[in-house]
Structure 1
Amino acid sequence: MRDVVVDKDAIDAIQKWKLNSSPLSVKHLSVSSPKKKKSAKKKGDDIIHSHKKRKVKRLQSDTNKLKKKEETEKKPRRASPHKDKITTTSSAPNIPIPFHSEELEISSPKSHSPKPKDSYDTKLDIKLLEAKNVDITINIRLSERADSGRLIQQRKDNFKQAKKKSSSNSLLASPTTKRNSRQNHNPLVAMDLPTPVLDTFPRRNSPDIHWSEDTYFTGEATIDALSKDFLIRSMFEAHQTKEWREVIMTIYPIFASFEELLEVFRTTAKRKVDNIPLTVAEMLKVWWKHNPWNFFIFGAKEEIFEQRSKLVEDLIESFEESVGKDLLSEWKGASSTFTRMLNAQFIGEAPKQLIPKNLPKDPSDYSVLDFNPVELARQMTLIDYKLLVRIPTSEFLNKNFMKEELCPNLTKFSERFNRVTAWICTEITMEANLKRRKKLLSHFIIIGIKLLSIRNYAGLMSVFIGLTQYPVSRMQLTWKSLPPPLIEKWEKLETICSPLNNFRHLRGLQNESIPPSIISPIIVIKDLSALEETIPIQLEFEGKDGSKYHLWNFGKLQSIGKLISIINACQKTMYQFHSSTLMQKFLENVPFEDMETCANFSSQNEPSSKAL
């Protein structure tokens, strides 16, 4: 039998009943088991349980506050005066190009953009958590989580805006450079990779196209790879961009031959749908404008060019009379223009030539000091331009620039670059007289400054490398004799041509300059080499049936197209200078010695003891 325990309240009730002689109520009595002392573990569990409840109450309170704050923020509010700050760590374009890719650091203040969905719809099942003995630990409050969501959304928006903006850091700009890109279209600035209009492309993976999605930054679908047929067909889309058509007509030798592409033009022109014939006619103009080396007589293979010209003229005759007549006249005009480009024959007003009248009768007695440095820079630029315009696009594609037999014109350009470098080093080190050596050094620095002002960056680099060769740079007595203003200008040239940070300052100038200009071959070959060696030109995919197929790497084609478009912009715009046969003959046959000979002359004419 269970023990009956009468508590204190019951005893007090009995005593009160005795005094008042009132009947005893049952509710005053309670029968219970003996109470047990709570263990330390039970007390600890009660403390944790109460701690959990306080956290949940605090969490629910924060949720209610945030809901109220959300309702107040729905009201229209003035836009924040802050602007997004975009900084670049290197001068190349944000692109998947590994050699001068831009790393954007985007920082933005908190904006009043709409909050992401389900930011505050967080419900906690308290009983379930307590039953499973789950510790409710909240490291980030809902308010912080909401701010984080807004920040991610803001970064996405900033990333999209950064693609459309161009930012380049240049130390010393050319006097003729126009910086207002809104008023003056600059074909050398290509921050965005050339991209086709994707609206008409099928949004599914197939043997013709493969898609990927950048979910973190943009959330937009992008193209991984395309087939050859799809690349060619994309040119004839009604709403296709002009830039994409120009890129395809420039880099088509990567994936198709001249005959294959011309056959596509012929079959497409026969289609009587919408304005297809007009589109084909426009594409034909783009072809011979951006790749004239495929059509017009160039080099020793005249028979091949005559056959191609006949095929193109037959295609032009297949158009209607109104279209074909205009197309044929433009075809002939393009041929004569290309011939003038090859010979750098500018027709029009040009700066007055600064040619000296009193020159030695024997051309072998000419010295670089006999000519004005400004005119020397102009004539050197015309020589560089004639060599540049003769380099066909095919020598930059399919790794042809890595083999001399496949890139003869690019090799000639490089040989000219090295010849000027060796000539400058030879002229300075072979001069025994200090005053005359000082004049030679000053003369070449002024030539470099003028080359910079007329945007001949290839000539500028050849002069800079010639002056920084060890046999010249060690002649400290000659360098110290220069006037301070000239030394300051030389230091600026040093900063511009510095190879640090992947030629950051020189890249910035090249990207900002407006044609006519000549970009440095060092940077072009460096970029193309890195691109070819690190990124495959074709990607392999697996079909639903397990079969494997290959498509052309879309990102790499975009990057190559961007580089080639920069080169083409330099080739298509002639310099407005008249050539001097006398000075060009002198510059084309300048004498030079090897580096070892120059080092010996440098030590003899200025021993190290004098430099100390």
Structure 2
Amino acid sequence: MADASRDDGAGNEPPSLRSEAVLLASAQKHQLDNQVDRSGWLPRVQKAHPSVKEVRERVSPLLRALTFSEIYNPGRKDVRDRLSKEDLIQLIMQHLMTQGLESVKLALEKESALAYNNKRQSNRSYLVMHLNNALRDTEKVYDLAIDERLGRVLGLKKDRQVELEEHLLQVGIQEEEDMEETIDIWSASIAKEQVIEIISKGTPDEEKIVKAGTLNGLIGFLTSVTEHHTTFQNIFLLTYQSFTTPKKLFDKLVERYHVPMSFEADSPNRNESIKRIRLRVCSVIKKWLEEYSTDFNESLKGNAISLVQLMRAEGEAALANSLQNSISKMDSGTSRRVQNMKKLEPLITKNIFSDQLNYFDIEDEELARQMTLIDYEIFSIIKPEELLNLAWSKPKLKHKAKNVLSMIDRFNNVSSWVATMIISPERLKNRTKAITKFLKVAKHLRQLNNFNSLTDPAIIAAFNMACVHRLKHSWEGIPANIVEEIEKLMNTENGFKIYRDTLKLSSPAIPYLGVHLTDLTFMEENPDCIEVEGVKMINFAKRKLIYAVISLLQTYQQTPYHFATVHQITSYLKKGTTLDEPTLYRMSLDREPRKSRLADIQQ
């Protein structure tokens, strides 16, 4: 029999040798592959594609706990204050003993120069117990903060914010505010602490300006029978969540309602004074229920109903009926907005039902209208508390600002979508056509006073992105004055003065949220508390500044647009195809290489 390992005479290796060569080459390649550093690829993928990170966290409790610790990182000092290095080593040694690893424990004692403290002997590992508790607590936070869209799919409870905050307080992550006073509002021993500093505008007829006060002092002024200040009420109810919670405020108002026996005990007008105080408390709660109903979760609403029942039992039927009416309005979802105004007829195109519908098929004005309706849908439901304490920018508070974050995401998506639509066409004339289209849409957005889609980070931002701005051949033939006119409106000089002046004269309108978030950021640099005669007080002057910004936004939230929603268009816009900036820039270079001539570009 011939040797199978020999050449077949035609210069071809036998199959066995070829297989060995393939295996050897594969092994060498595998060895080279193993020498490549891949340690950074996963963080890069997760940064570029947040959805990948989200999926990994959904299936792994440990990964969720790691992300949780990154967001709620208390800092090394706080960790050392609660758990010293020595305590941690003792936990490890106790764990080693429960696992029968005494020799390892002895080695750790020698290395750390720390003797094992075996006073609390147990077969259960305290280290594992603490880790299990930590995972349990972080899992509950993750479950409570789960994406609302997924929650609706699974039929989960919609409003979990209060439960989340209570859990964060329970596990010591979200601290109670220093200004949360536990002392009774009627306590005579804190008369000095209840004092608020008031500055008069100059004439007795004008409302007084509250500069600062303790929580008890502010609530006392809020429900005063001698001082009725509508502006103060409005500022307090809009900003109180920057220094206390809805539950704490309600409890304090109930405290104020329950006038103690010692109050004006010898006065012949005591009963009349009590009635006036209770009427003021009821008036404040009624205003709170009607204007800020979303502050009342089921638990707090139950407390309000209990107060109504108490009022009836005490013979205060008129007050009880007044509050009950407000609660009933809240339950029925009665809105102050006008819902029955006639809507403008949409500009419908022939192929509106086509699966191939794209933005070129939609009239410029109608495209601007539908973009505005999407924007207003998000803008109109932003709550005041989302704009307090910079909640949208702080990891620990972002769960309070979901609508602000949704709006920021929405307009970042608009910017990416516009850039994608401009760069995607391979032919020069189609890119120029796309730029012209969006310039016309921008003009209509300006006419609709939709400053947020018109401006950064939407259409203008898309034009200013490097991948779009560098397309000089695509921009040729576009009148420069059109872009300049839009950019002039959003000039940053003098704190966006032109924009602010224009906004004052516009209604309905969607303000440029970025400007107002910046205003709030600067205002938050003022201290939350100030000292007045040695007493720590809430800086109410700061809340007055914040109120001015938020109340302006509320004005535009209450004035809707009267356009008919075209679901085919809004669906198309919400699903708009977007590419990331690195991909767009590579495509831009492919469309118009650096130093390319017009003759080199595909027409």
TM bucket, shorter chain: 0.5 to 0.7
Q: Which residue of 2 aligns with 1:258?
A: 246
Structure 2 gap segments, 5+ residues each: 1-190, 260-271
Q: Which moved more, 1:272-281 or 1:246-255?
A: 272-281
Q: Which residue of 2 aligns with 1:313?
A: 305
CA shift in 2, pair 1:610/1:366, >3 Å:
farther
Cα contact 2:376–2:510 (8 A) shared by 1: yes
Q: Give, in whole Å, the separation in 1 of the partners of 2:495 and 2:303.
A: 45
Match of 1:451 among 430, 445, 448: 445
The RMSD of aligned alpha carbons is 3.2
Q: Which residue of 2 aligns with 1:518?
A: 510
**Deviations 1:334-369 (Å, cap 9, x if unpaired)?**
45447898xxx944311111222324632xx22111
Q: Give, in whole Å, the separation in 1 of the partners of 2:574 and 2:308.
A: 42
Match of 1:581 among 548, 567, 579: 567
| Counterpart amino acid of residue 307 in structure 2 | L
CA shift in 2, pair 1:519/1:338, >3 Å:
farther
The answer as to 2:221 corresponding to 1:234 is: yes
Q: Give, in whole Å, the separation in 2 of the partners of 1:265 and 1:468.
A: 52
Q: Which residue of 1 aligns with 2:294?
A: 293
CA drift at 1:247: 1.2
Q: Which residue of 2 aligns with 1:9?
A: none
The answer as to 2:349 corresponding to 1:356 is: yes
| Counterpart amino acid of residue 454 in structure 2 | L
Q: Which residue of 1 aligns with 2:422?
A: 428
Cα contact 2:290–2:330 (8 A) shared by 1: yes
| Counterpart amino acid of residue 423 in structure 2 | T
CA shift in 2, pair 1:382/1:315, >3 Å:
farther
TM (normalized to structure 1)? 0.56
Q: Which residue of 2 aligns with 1:528?
A: 520
The alignment partner of 2:535 has SS state of strand
Larger Rg belongs to: 1
Q: Which residue of 1 aligns with 2:434?
A: 440
CA shift in 2, pair 1:380/1:315, >3 Å:
farther
TM (normalized to structure 2)? 0.57
Count of matched residue pairs? 380
Q: Give, in whole Å, the separation in 2 of the partners of 1:415 and 1:223.
A: 37
Q: Give, in whole Å, the separation in 2 of the partners of 1:376 and 1:278.
A: 52
CA shift in 2, pair 1:236/1:222, >3 Å:
closer
CA shift in 2, pair 1:214/1:581, >3 Å:
closer
CA drift at 1:397: 1.7
Q: Give, in whole Å, the separation in 2 of the partners of 1:336 and 1:375.
A: 34
Q: Give, in whole Å, the separation in 2 of the partners of 1:316 and 1:259.
A: 16
Q: Give, in whole Å, the separation in 2 of the partners of 1:350 and 1:443.
A: 25
CA drift at 1:394: 2.2
Match of 2:555 among 569, 572, 575: 569
CA shift in 2, pair 1:210/1:234, >3 Å:
closer
CA drift at 1:395: 2.3
| Counterpart amino acid of residue 218 in structure 2 | L
The answer as to 2:510 corresponding to 1:496 is: no
The alignment partner of 2:596 has SS state of helix
**Deviations 1:430-475 (Å, cap 9, x if unpaired)?**
1223333233222212222222222222112122211222222222
The alignment partner of 1:394 has SS state of helix
The answer as to 2:237 corresponding to 1:243 is: no
The answer as to 2:600 corresponding to 1:600 is: no
The answer as to 2:545 corresponding to 1:552 is: no
Q: Which residue of 1 aligns with 2:133?
A: none
CA shift in 2, pair 1:374/1:525, >3 Å:
same
The alignment partner of 1:573 has SS state of coil
Q: Give, in whole Å, the separation in 1 of the partners of 2:499 and 2:590.
A: 35
Cα contact 2:286–2:322 (8 A) shared by 1: no
Structure 1 gap segments, 5+ residues each: 1-204, 296-304, 543-547
Q: Give, in whole Å, the separation in 2 of the partners of 1:585 and 1:370.
A: 14
Percent identity, aligned pairs only, is 24
CA drift at 1:381: 1.9
Q: Give, in whole Å, the separation in 2 of the partners of 1:495 and 1:479.
A: 19
Q: Give, in whole Å, the separation in 1 of the partners of 2:550 and 2:199.
A: 26
CA shift in 2, pair 1:336/1:465, >3 Å:
farther
The alignment partner of 1:450 has SS state of helix
Q: Give, in whole Å, the separation in 2 of the partners of 1:244 and 1:558.
A: 9
CA shift in 2, pair 1:282/1:380, >3 Å:
farther
Q: Give, in whole Å, the separation in 2 of the partners of 1:366 and 1:510.
A: 34
| Counterpart amino acid of residue 386 in structure 1 | E
Cα contact 2:520–2:546 (8 A) shared by 1: yes
The answer as to 2:596 corresponding to 1:609 is: yes
CA drift at 1:289: 4.1
Q: Give, in whole Å, the separation in 2 of the partners of 1:452 and 1:470.
A: 24
| Counterpart amino acid of residue 350 in structure 1 | K
Cα contact 2:221–2:227 (8 A) shared by 1: no
Q: Give, in whole Å, the separation in 1 of the partners of 2:328 and 2:576.
A: 38
Cα contact 2:352–2:568 (8 A) shared by 1: no
Cα contact 2:349–2:362 (8 A) shared by 1: yes
CA shift in 2, pair 1:336/1:418, >3 Å:
farther
The alignment partner of 1:609 has SS state of coil
| Counterpart amino acid of residue 591 in structure 2 | N
**Deviations 1:350-400 (Å, cap 9, x if unpaired)?**
1111222324632xx221111122222222222222222333322222332
**Deviations 1:251-293 (Å, cap 9, x if unpaired)?**
1112222122213333445665365455444423432344232
CA shift in 2, pair 1:287/1:530, >3 Å:
same
The alignment partner of 2:349 has SS state of coil
CA drift at 1:316: 4.0
CA shift in 2, pair 1:360/1:575, >3 Å:
closer
CA shift in 2, pair 1:458/1:315, >3 Å:
farther
CA shift in 2, pair 1:611/1:496, >3 Å:
farther
Cα contact 2:353–2:568 (8 A) shared by 1: no
| Counterpart amino acid of residue 374 in structure 1 | E
Q: Which moved more, 1:552-561 or 1:311-320?
A: 311-320
Cα contact 1:541–1:550 (8 A) shared by 2: yes
The alignment partner of 1:250 has SS state of helix
Cα contact 1:457–1:520 (8 A) shared by 2: yes
Q: Give, in whole Å, the separation in 1 of the partners of 2:287 and 2:364.
A: 39
Cα contact 1:377–1:447 (8 A) shared by 2: yes
Cα contact 2:289–2:326 (8 A) shared by 1: no
**Deviations 1:554-612 (Å, cap 9, x if unpaired)?**
32111112122123223333332232222211111101111122222223323443469
CA shift in 2, pair 1:518/1:234, >3 Å:
farther
Structure 1 segment 307-456 matched on structure 2, within 5 A: 307-317=299-309, 318=311, 320-322=316-318, 324-325=320-321, 327-337=323-333, 346-359=339-352, 361-362=354-355, 365-404=356-395, 405-406=398-399, 407-456=401-450
Cα contact 1:346–1:576 (8 A) shared by 2: no
CA shift in 2, pair 1:233/1:313, >3 Å:
same
Q: Which residue of 2 aligns with 1:129?
A: none
Q: Which residue of 1 aligns with 2:468?
A: 472
CA shift in 2, pair 1:338/1:381, >3 Å:
farther
Q: Give, in whole Å, the separation in 1 of the partners of 2:323 and 2:210.
A: 34
**Deviations 1:114-154 (Å, cap 9, x if unpaired)?**
xxxxxxxxxxxxxxxxxxxxxxxxxxxxxxxxxxxxxxxxx
Cα contact 1:538–1:552 (8 A) shared by 2: yes
The alignment partner of 1:552 has SS state of strand
CA shift in 2, pair 1:221/1:326, >3 Å:
closer
Q: Give, in whole Å, the separation in 2 of the partners of 1:329 and 1:527.
A: 38
Q: Give, in whole Å, the separation in 2 of the partners of 1:403 and 1:469.
A: 27
CA drift at 1:322: 4.8
Cα contact 1:346–1:577 (8 A) shared by 2: no
| Counterpart amino acid of residue 519 in structure 1 | P
